[in-house]
Amino acid sequence: MAKSTKKAGAGAPADPKLQDLQANTESGQDQFLTTNHGLKINDDQNSLKAGDRGPSLLEDFILREKITHFDHERIPERIVHARGSAAHGFFQVYESMASYTKAGFLQDPSVKTPVFVRFSTVAGSRGSTDLARDVRGFAVKFYTEEGNFDLVGNNMPVFFIQDAVKFPDLIHAVKPEPDNEIPQAASAHDTFWDFISLMPESAHMIMWVMSDRAIPRSLRMMEGFGVHTFRLVNAQNEACFVKFHWKPLLGVHSVAWDEAQKISGKDPDFHRRDLWEAIANGDFPEWELGVQIIPEQDEHKYPFDLLDPTKLIPEELVPVQRVGKLTLNRNPDNFFAETEQVAFHVGNIVPGIDFTNDPLMQGRLFSYTDTQLIRLGGPNFHEIPINRPVAPVHNNQRDGHMRQTINTGRTSYHPNSLGGGCPFQAKMAEGGFTSYTERIDAHKVRQRSKSFFDHFSQATLFYNSQSDAEKNHLTDALSFELGKVETVAIRERMLGILFHIDKGLASAVAYNLGLPVPKHETILNHSIPADGDPQAFQPVHVKPYLDKSAPLSMANTSKDSIKTRKVAILAADGVDAAALTTVVNALTAQGAVPEIIAPRLGSITAENKEEIPVRRSLLTVASVLYDAVYVPGGTNSVASIAADPDAIHFLNEAWRHCKAIAFDEAARQVLEATYFARKVPANPDAATQLETGLILSANADELAKTFIAAIAMHRFWEREKPQKVPA
Ligand code: HDD
């Protein structure tokens, strides 16, 4: 892996969080090896023994210190979101949002607020694959001048359950089964679908998790969502509701499921590596912050409840305003110290932002601090460098394991007179936080509002909004997952839920499972209190208020760039250097990353005797790690590639995963060695080439132009079913 870029660029204003972290960074460069107590070590190779063949001595404090520290290196992994990758960066608002919020970091476009962002999968362990079919966490810590604001979101805008009290059940169901701890990082097993099939409120989220959103091409190509409805409060104490969005500037893109499974074997760190390398190469990932603002008086205007986390607000009803930009520009120095020890908390807010009564959010407000106590070992985790705010901290909280701060003075209570009354409470005008004074007049009940009982309308809206290819993927994903479920009754129950989302979808999945299409129209909600009347808990059916919502389909995402796309070039000795250089230069000029792959490492000798360095050998790579493939001409190179089974497999697989593939006309022999040669016209014109993603040209400039347009399309999903090849 390339080394991390340390600075945001010459002349960039000092990042206050970077300065803060500097006090805790260490480098052994040009230094002596020491014990933890600063004693220089003379021999780190041999323990102290009674004779050179005798037993080690208890006296050996150097040995004991080293082994003891090693024995205690591990901490518990996160109960969810254990597998993650993170980066530093900054956020800048485009223009003041003062009319909506008094939050300081949303006022001044010239202010760069430092951030630390951690992406994660949910179900897998720390060492599990990046390419699991799963929700992705998207957690942003803003180090604002008014304290830390954590936006702890996901790459999907809704959630499985409506009440936090069900969260442990959901997670127990999706995690590996408790008797044998199988399967790792996968929802395709009985306990998950058992729970889901009894929990109709998860129907909408299930559509998202079974869609390609669950297998992103890159963490840099995912949307992010705050999920809950939050509240913004301005300086006049006027509030509005808000939904937060992150919109990636590279668009939203995913891989194929077959590809995801293969990446999990070839490079389980695929997303982590991609994020690291992009930042190290100066291709800084960027997202725009989007807000959907809902005036307070519109709280009950919609046919769904704003407090229900299984609902989104279609962008057609409330447009997303893009209000600022997040840029990630620095890799962490140390994975454990930063990425592992960072502690997010939904409850970390700043004046101008507030919570709502979403019952999922309310439970989260408890869980995040609580979990850090066990994970990070005590109440002082806020002092760990990555967690401490850049805003000053003064209070009367004291002591506890691993306390770092040396609080001075006699008083650790408030009010006091001995300490001059310090630290003072801050008035609102001085930035003191006050909770929004929402009026609540209610009975204390364990109940769920009837306005939370529509479980299907947005699941159907999501399904209807997908392209044909995306619908196929949903059918395949559900068939795969339920196909792995052993208990037929669970499969049947799930078909019953799908029937309420879309009858065609239910029939297609039922066909694949070899089961009859469910006939019944009613569904019993099993998630009800012991004394509840099942009929009273029937999900309600709401009249569709929208046929389709365009932003829900990734087919409508931006497809205008090949920046950071990885392009494999299959070449061997005798390659046509002129064609190769033309295409490489054209791709590089557009920000893509071409890599020459040859049967072996070292260099290849071109037809004109030029020595061309090889980036990877066929032994260590696979097509699933690339976005597109190019095969240049050159008689001997073409003959070698055409005769190399690994190279032909590479091409067939790239075709199967619907990627753009380009051949020099002089490399037609390679094309003819593939399975897909017979699926495409022998001499496609430019329009056909762009339609199929198969580019064939004798002119390297023309080839490069069409190839670049094709790579920007991301994938040619249309050819997936009709032109599938073995690979
Ligand atoms: Fe959570 C971690 C996102 C519901 C309890 N959650 C965690 C992380 C993300 C989310 C991104 C990883 C943070 C990191 O990188 O360290 N969680 C969500 C979203 C939810 C959600 C978007 C629904 C809208 N979570 C949720 C509920 C509960 C939790 C309902 C409990 C009642 N989540 C936790 C936790 C974790 C966590 C157990 C594990 C590690 C951690 O907090 O720091 O407290």
DSSP string, 291-351: EEEEEGGGTT-SSS-TT-TT----TTTSPPEEEEEEEEEE--S-IIIIIIT----TT---T
Residues 670 and 677: their CA atoms lie apart, in Å, by 9
Distance between first and last Cα of the chain: 29
Which residues pair with residue 242 across a beta bridge?
230, 293
Q: Is the pLDDT of residue 11 over 90?
A: no
Ligand 1 centre distance from Cα of residue 368 (Å): 7
Q: Where are the domains of the chain?
A: 34-73, 84-383, 453-555, 561-719
Ligand 1 in reach of 302 Cβ (< 6 A): no
| Helix ranges restricted to H, 357-449 | 359-375
pLDDT at 624 > cutoff 80 = yes
Among 344, 345, 369, residue to substitute to test ligand 1 (most atoms within 8 Å of Cβ):
344
Cα(79) to centroid(ligand 1), Å: 9
Q: Return all residues near 350 (Cβ < 8 A) that are at least 6 apart.
A: 103, 104, 105, 144, 146, 147, 148, 149, 433
- Return d(Cα 289, Cα 279) in angstroms, integer: 20
For position 524, what pLDDT does the model report? 65
Question: Which residues, other chains included, contact 427 with Cβ-Cβ below 8 Å and sequence gap of 6+?
Answer: none
Rounded mean pLDDT, 337-345 = 98
Average pLDDT over residues 264-278: 98
- The mean pLDDT value of the chain amounts to 95
pLDDT for 537 beyond 50:
yes
CATH code for the domain defined by 561-719: 3.40.50.880
Digit-coded pLDDT (tens) for 590-603: 999 999 999 999 99
Report residue 7's pLDDT band, with 50, 70 and 90 as the boundaries: very low
Res. 520 pLDDT band, cuts 50 70 90: low
User: Within 10 A of 226 (CB to CB), how many other CB atoms are there?
Assistant: 23
Rounded to the nearest angstrom, the distance between the alpha carbon of 408 and the centre of ligand 1 is 36
Strand-by-strand arrangement of the 566-570 sheet = 616-617, 593-598, 566-570, 628-631, 660-664, 694-697
- The closest residue, in CA terms, to atom 30 on ligand 1 is 164
Distance 481 CA to ligand 1 centre (A): 24
Question: What pLDDT was estimated at residue 10?
Answer: 44
Point out the annotated binding site for heme: 78, 118, 167, 364, 368, 375
Q: What is the residue whose two structure tokens read 């800084």?
A: 284
CB-based contact 209:156 (threshold 8 Å)? yes
Q: Ligand 1: does its nearest atom lie under 6 Å from the Cβ of 84?
A: yes
Write the ipTM: 0.99
369 C-beta closer than 6 A to ligand 1: no
Task: For residue 86, give the H/E element and its range.
Answer: strand 84-93
Give CA separation, 98 vs 234, 238, 436, 437, in Å: 6, 11, 17, 19
Q: pLDDT tens digit string along 631-676?
A: 999 999 999 999 999 999 999 999 999 999 999 999 999 999 999 9
Question: Which residues, including other chains, have CB under 8 Å from residue 343's CB and lie 6 or more apart?
Answer: 368, 372, 375, 376, 381, 382, 384, 387
159 pocket-lining for ligand 1 (C-beta < 6 Å): yes
Distance CA(89)–CA(15), nearest Å, equals: 9
Q: Please state the rounded mean pLDDT for residues 174-197.
A: 98
Hey, which of 77, 79, 80 would you mutate to test ligand 1's pocket, going by the most ligand atoms within 8 Å of its Cβ? Answer: 80
Residue 472 confidence (pLDDT) above 70: yes
Q: In this structure, which residue's CA is closest to atom 22 in ligand 1?
A: 153
Q: Is the CB of 306 under 6 A from ligand 1?
A: no
* Topology (CATH) of 453-555: Hemocyanin, N-terminal domain (1.20.1370)
User: Is a pLDDT exceeding 80 seen at residue 396?
Assistant: yes
- State whether residue 605 is helix, strand or coil: strand
Residue 440 has pLDDT above 70, yes or no: yes
Please tell me the distance between residue 81's alpha carbon and the centre of ligand 1 in angstroms.
Answer: 7
User: Using CA atoms, how far apart are residues 594 and 642, in angstroms rounded to an integer?
Assistant: 20
Select from 367, 372, 382 the residue to mutate for testing ligand 1; criterion: most ligand atoms less than 8 Å from CB. 367
Say yes or no to pLDDT of 3 above 60: no
Ligand 1 centre to CA of 515 (Å) is 36
Q: Is the CB of 225 under 6 A from ligand 1?
A: no
34 vs 540 pLDDT, higher one: 34
pTM of the predicted structure, to 2 decimals: 0.97
**Residues noted as catalytic:** 81, 154
DSSP string, 22-64: HTT----TT---B-TTSPBPS-SSS--BSSTTSPBPTT-HHHH
- Give, using CA atoms, the residue closest to atom 19 of ligand 1: 153
Strand pairing category for 84-93 and 113-121: antiparallel
- Kindly report the CATH number that applies to the domain delimited by 84-383: 2.40.180.10
The arrangement of secondary structure in 34-73, i.e. its CATH architecture, is Irregular (4.10)
